[in-house]
A = this chain, B = another copy of it.
Amino acid sequence: MARASDKLIEQLKQEIFSGLLKPGDQLEEADLAVRFNVSRTPIREAIRSLVDNGLLETRSRKGAIVRVLNAKELNDLFEVAAELEGMACRLASERLTQSNKKIIKASLDLCQAAAQVEDIPGYAEANLAFHAAIHEASENDWLTDQLSQIQARINVYRLMPYEIVGRLEKSLVEHQKISEAIFAKDGLSANSLMRDHMMLQGARLPSLLRALV
């Protein structure tokens, strides 16, 4: 039997990622208890967990709010994300198996299909699949965990992904180059290509931040 708090964590994450709960929104325990038809205890545990996860923050006696990252924090986050994504590419190059290669190729095809018809949400999904495929191929579970946590954090700030015209095409080409480097077991290139790819996204942050304010 799943614990109520575990389900709550998932639900609240969904609401945050979907944008239903926006950065700065306050979460009141009593309200949530009514909404989800449980007592305050599991609500509190869920909030606690999300605070540890970094999605919420609390001030003493002032409850939890959806965490707002300022420009520096987002930049720091992106720097680490870029480094770890690059690392995943390097490891994937060194450890690539046939089955992982197939999965990466499949996700790359998804990216291509979505880019061709300019399906923005479709590309966003395929993009995540592509990155996830590389994470898996790194064969480092700790790294994979860290990256999925970071992804989650970043996605909150990606409510309008790829809205810039033409970015889809460029992103796809970068993905293809990264894949080629991995398949050629050229870890060094794969690493730096991915880091550049990530940093380009990071460079788009300032405009994204402005759009949020």
Contact = CB atoms under 8 A, between A and B. Distances in A.
A35 to B, nearest CB: 21
Interface residues of A, number: 26
A44 interface: yes
Interface in A55-104: 60, 72-73, 76-77, 79-80, 83-84, 87, 91
A48 interface: yes
Contacts of A83: 83-84, 87
Contacts of A32: none
Number of copies: 2
Interface stretch (A117-125, A127-135, A140-148): A140-148
Contacts of A60: 1, 3
A41 B41 CA distance: 9
A45 B91 CA distance: 37
Given A45-B44, A45-B48, A146-B146, A140 B3 contact: no
Q: Which of A41, A72, A79, A91 has most chain B Cβ within 10 Å? A: A79
Contacts of A41: 41
Nearest to A9: B52
A77 B146 CA distance: 10
Contacts of A142: 73, 76-77, 79-80
A11 interface: no
The 9 A-B residue pairs with the shortest CB-CB distance, nearest first, are A76-B142, A52-B52, A76-B140, A83-B87, A77-B142, A80-B143, A49-B52, A80-B142, A45-B48
5 contacts: A48-B48, A72-B141, A80-B143, A80-B146, A146-B146
